[in-house]
Amino acid sequence: MPRALIAEDEPLLRDELVELLAQVWPQLEICAAVADGNSALEAMATKRPDVAFLDVEMPGLSGIEVARQMPHPCHLAFITAYEHYAVSAFENGAIDYVLKPLSASRLSTTVSRLQQRLVQPPVNIESLLEQIALRGHAARDYLRWINVSVGTSVRLVTVDEICYFQADNKYTVLMTDQAESLINMTIRELLDALDPHVFWQIHRSTLVNVNAISDVKRDLRGRLSVKLKARPEALPVSQPYACRFRHM
């Protein structure tokens, strides 16, 4: 019986993928379902899956970084909302992909291809992973500024000015070094629109500009918080995202 790992940071989507795989590939055993890249590497080392479904953009290590650091080779399928991340890999035949939102018919195609590959050992995909990373970075047009209402006018705030975003009920607070503003975008929408190498999610409700961080503190209970260069408040780092600072 083949074994699979799922690494996806959205709990509902992760559960949906488990359910769909049970329908289209009932012989597959899900040996681990995790929410971040570091946990994916740990599960790979202990569970030794035959197949890994990796979200391209996760807390900590990205899916591509996980694939590069796999402790043992396995067959891969990337989970992504952006088809450009995996088109070249799909055409090459070495890696497959699953698009968000999930589709049972597309997943069936992925499963069929993976089943055919399982009769052969995984091939070396290092150069292919590099191509996918470069194509994904070049193809994305990340958000460069955000419109903020100021009285009867609208101010354009560049992303370089922003220290962090924090969810506030139905809105999100945008914080610069000197001001705060409410914007009508969710944290999830911002995650999809901003460069993930610049804005890190450190809490379910918080995105921080890594260039605005001065240092990271750990209290006596081991809990992390982020200090900023230009603001006095400390931002708590929740446990699922602490892996981002493991080597800092």
Residue 94: which CATH number? Answer: 3.40.50.2300
Task: Single out the residue in 119, 139, 159 at which a domain terminates.
Answer: 139
Model pTM score: 0.57
CB neighbourhood size of 177 (10 A) = 12
d(CA 158, CA 246): 29
Among the candidates 139, 169, 185, a domain finishes at 139
Give me 138's structure tokens.
């070049």
Q: Is 166 found in the same domain as 121?
A: no
Q: Token digits for 111?
A: 């499963």
The mean pLDDT of 65-93, rounded to a whole number, is 75
Quick one: 132 and 161 in the same domain?
A: no
| Tens-place pLDDT, residues 123-143 | 777 766 766 665 555 445 688
**Same structural domain, 109 and 169:** no
Kindly state the percentage of the chain with pLDDT values over 90.
43
**End position of a domain, from candidates 139, 167, 191:** 139
My answer on whether 216 and 182 are in the same domain is: yes
In a shared domain, residues 206 and 127 = no
Helices (H), 60-186: 63-68, 87-92, 104-117, 126-139
The enclosing domain of 155 has a CATH number of: 2.40.50.1020
Q: Are residues 13 and 115 in the same domain?
A: yes
**Are residue 15 and residue 116 in the same domain, yes or no?**
yes
Kindly compute the dihedral angle of the four CA atoms of residues 134, 243, 223, 9, in this order, to the nearest 10 degrees: 80
Asked whether residue 133 falls in the same domain as residue 149, the answer is: no
Domain that holds residue 208: 145-245
125 and 23 part of one domain: yes
Question: Average pLDDT in the 8-18 region?
Answer: 90
CA–CA dist 72, 242 (Å, integer) = 25
Cα(211)–Cα(154) distance, rounded to whole angstroms? 25
Note the pLDDT tens digit of each residue in 98-126: 887 788 888 998 999 899 989 988 877 77
Are 92 and 124 part of one and the same domain? yes
Q: Chain-centre distance of CA 115, in angstroms?
A: 26
Residue 160 DSSP SS3: helix
What pLDDT, on the 0 to 100 scale, is given for residue 215? 92
Torsions phi, psi for 176 (to 5 deg)? -105, -175
Q: How many distinct structural domains can be found in the chain?
A: 2
Rounded to the nearest 10 degrees, what angle do helices 11-24 and 104-117 cross at? 60
- Does 230 share its domain with 187? yes
Query: Could you say which DSSP state residue 93 is in?
Result: T
Q: What pLDDT shows up at residue 90?
A: 57
Q: Are residues 14 and 120 in the same domain?
A: yes
